[in-house]
Structure 1
Amino acid sequence: MLMTPGPTAVPEPVRETMSRELINPDVDPRFREIYDRLTERLATVYGVDAADAAGNGASRDVVVLGGEGILGLEAAVASLVEPGTEVLCLSNGLYGEGFADFVGSYGGDPTLVAAEHDEPLPLDALDDALAADDADVDLVTMVHCETPTGTLNDVEAALDRIEAAAPAALTVVDAVSSLGGVEVPTDRIDVCLGASQKCFSAPPGLATAAVSDRAWAAMEARDPHSLYANFLPFRDVSDGFPYTHLTTEVVALDAALGLLLDEGLDAVRERHAAAAARCRERGAELGLAPVPDPERSSPTVTAFEVPGRAEALRERLREEHDVVLATGLGEGSEDVLRVGHMGHNARVDRVEEAMDALAAVL
């Protein structure tokens, strides 16, 4: 049983869809119909499919690129950063720090505003960085769910500060591990990133984004040089896609989103919350503590502290119980064991089976 925080288990109806005859995305008009339906379904999940009566709604263009979720992070930077672009990278984890690396590689000027990986986002330090005399911030990046530690960050509090102190600054949020299982404030984000293999329970291979008008304008002004790590060619695909799209992954994600929306977003989020709560209850019974405090732990993943034992426990779970969990990443690789209760796996019965196995090997 696969209980990792991505890739997640793919339900049978999605696997059946993938087994159907291949559609050529370059010549078969059916593919465009599927892609359009997919982006409409994604807009509903992002919460950007409607405007208010005054026309001021959360409307965003939703695009789907062919590539694993990390492509979205790089494409956001490649599309918005050029030499001299001032970027604040707000971070309390591995992926938040990774944004600064991307910014540097595309010639931008990153300022890492960082906290320890088990701490909240450093909002006071963000205030200081925004208020600095020489601050001329073009872009701010952050991560909603830092999967390596199971932390759900308060991005709304960060957005409040950015909107007040630097309203012209664009915002990029990695919501790869939260979108679909947790509500994301996409209407306040210029580029909100997702991926197929997390809460959607489709195979890895697609990066998604909801992009604001002002982000599009910034991209057009910069004229990104990359073809592949570039959102612009996907803004208007009426005359075709910039490259042969990943047909099987597109139909799979479309099917997976159909299941999610049939269930209802509120019900899906409640299911994630119930699975997370039960996982942590079982962990407490076993003497295991989550890495962040429970109030900051994500409904999509729980990271337990197991100092020096993570790899050994993971191997025993796989070999003795056919349960696959994930260790931590980077510095936490030997000290953290992660249970992915996201997407199809956000079910109490699956959590119980995984935690029964963990109890047996502790």
Structure 2
Amino acid sequence: MLGELRPRLARVQGISLFLQNVQDVRLGGRLSSAQYQYTVVDANLDELTQWAPRVLEKLRSLPQLRDVNTDQQTNGLRLDVTVDRDTAARLGITPQAIDDTLYDAFGQRQVATMYTQLNQYRVVLEVKPEFQMNPSQVQMLYVRTPSGAQVPLSALAKVTQAPTALSVNHQGQFPAVTISFNLAPDAALGQAVTAIDRATRDIGLPASARGSFQGTAQAFQQSLASEPFLIAFALVAVYIVLGVLYESYVHPITILSTLPSAGVGALLALLAVNTEFSIIALIGIILLIGIVKKNAIMMIDFAIEAERDEGLSTIEAIYKACLLRFRPILMTTLAALLGGVPLAIGRGAGAELRQPLGITIVGGLLFSQLLTLFTTPVIYVFLDRFTRKRQRHQLPTLQPAPQIGVS
């Protein structure tokens, strides 16, 4: 929708419009004209003013980004009043007196308050509006000397115009410029983050300047850094619990072998519907770790009990487990899969936040269901044979008892 509106609104003259998807949940960041933010911070304001436009132009050239803009507003004007201190000192005029005169004229000084029966009104001192339109009229002000004489400001100071920023934003008490952007139709947030990092390195920012992502982009970047540790910790925790439950260090591997197919299925589903891999999609993959392995648990648990209680062989036990556990596996998988369908195909407010979660759950469950029903028994038999073979090699070789002769 944004892609359709953007060229039409660009033809409207006299306005500048910025489009973005409104999220129900905001992950920090500034209120900007686009969905994602990248902030450049520098303790030197002049250096920041010089380098921020270069970063902006570089990011606008990236094909992964759209609607790149900045909150930097440097098109303002200011008046610099340079006081001739020698002349002012000869006349007995202090810089504070000049400052008071300027503030009385343009500072909207409140000099009194008028009270009525219904309201109160503040009395503000300033020059008439017609004397505020032209910067040259500042020199028409007069400063009072200690003797009471009026001296024109033009005789004491020089007034010049200079460009200035309309506002200076700060982050962490340092001047900062926030560059906001949207994603191109075929670009993912991870690709945009990588492209921006590469672009800022190519520019060569000074040592005092640093750039960082804010809001959703920052949360995504941090999640990418911590994702391997979270998944590894989850796998280790699952392995330990299953190892204690089955009193084996091999059978938990059979159950964990079902997880790669779920991750591949989730990524293929996102790729098939052209959906970016967002934080919500990552949450869906983490949820799959707990959902997908229940298929293997139901089969392996029954097979181990059949071997111990009924004395069945490995192949007979897993075959019986597949036959008896097929219906529960199919029912629980369909229940979870169909529960994710409304999230995947839903529309309306907040749908862009829920769809990645539903797509990953549906794709991961569907793909893993088709594979694990066939691969789990094979892996179980293979690892069981491997364990038995290793145990046979570790058993000590019994030596025959020596023959004792009878005399």
Task: Give the TM-score, by structure 1 length.
Answer: 0.26
Q: Name the structure, 1 or 2, with higher relative contact order (CA <8 Å, separation 6+).
A: 1
The structure having more radius of gyration, on CA atoms, is: 2
Task: Give the TM-score, by structure 2 length.
Answer: 0.24
User: Which has a greater percent of helix?
Assistant: 2
